Every structure is written in structure tokens, then in C-alpha cells.
Amino acid sequence: MKISTIRDLLNADVICCEEGLGNHVYSACGSDMMSDVLAYVKDQAVLMTGLINSQVIRTAEMMDMKCIVFVRSKLPTEEMAELAREAGIVVLATKKRMYEACGILYSNGLVGNRVKNG
């Protein structure tokens, strides 16, 4: 799925790195706990979160994510946007709640990471 499609499906605003809207992503996760993202998420391309701090950008960069979507009308600080620009991470913001945003993307073909039990 193109990041521009995510923007359109979520009626999101582009905060930075608009030049990356043509990039393709193949999976997503939604979490406000960056420790869970680091511990359990592998090979994700889109992070959806309502957490506003610079650790979100640093976590996404460490996990090679291409896009962050801030949900619930949350907006990153200018410092966060600058970190995302430096890392080349597209940042979007939507008014939708995380549950709804995840559901929309999932129902349109963007899958989550498969978790192995035990």
C-alpha cells in the first residue's frame, strides 16, 4: 500500500516528508507503548500512535519504519518533525482514533505482524 493511500484512507494531514508519499509499505502496528514496539514488532513499516514525544521518532527509526501516523488529533512538536525529516520518515496526523485507523487500514489490505506463540 502506498503511503499516499494511507493518507487518503485516514483523511490525514502530512506533517513532514511529503516526498515519501509514493513509498510502499506492507505492514503496520498500533501502540502507545514504545517498549512493546521494540520488543514485539518486527519488520513494520507504519506505526500508529497517540504518544507525543521524541522517543516515538527514535523508535520508528530504529525499527526502519517508513511512516508514523499520529491518531486522535495529536500533533508532533517541531523538534519531533525535525527528527523525522532527518530520518526520512513520513509523518501523518489524523483525527481518527487508533482502533478505527487500524481497522480501516487492515480492511483495505494492510496487515499486521504475525506473532508466534510460545
User: How many CB atoms lie under 10 A from the CB of residue 88?
Assistant: 13
Question: Three cell numbers at 99?
Answer: 482502533
Sequence spans of domains, the chain: 3-111
- Predicted TM-score (pTM) of the model is 0.91
pLDDT in tens, 51-106: 999 999 999 999 989 999 999 999 999 999 999 999 999 999 999 999 999 999 99
Domain 3-111, CATH: 3.40.1390.20
Q: What is the CA radius of gyration of the chain?
A: 13
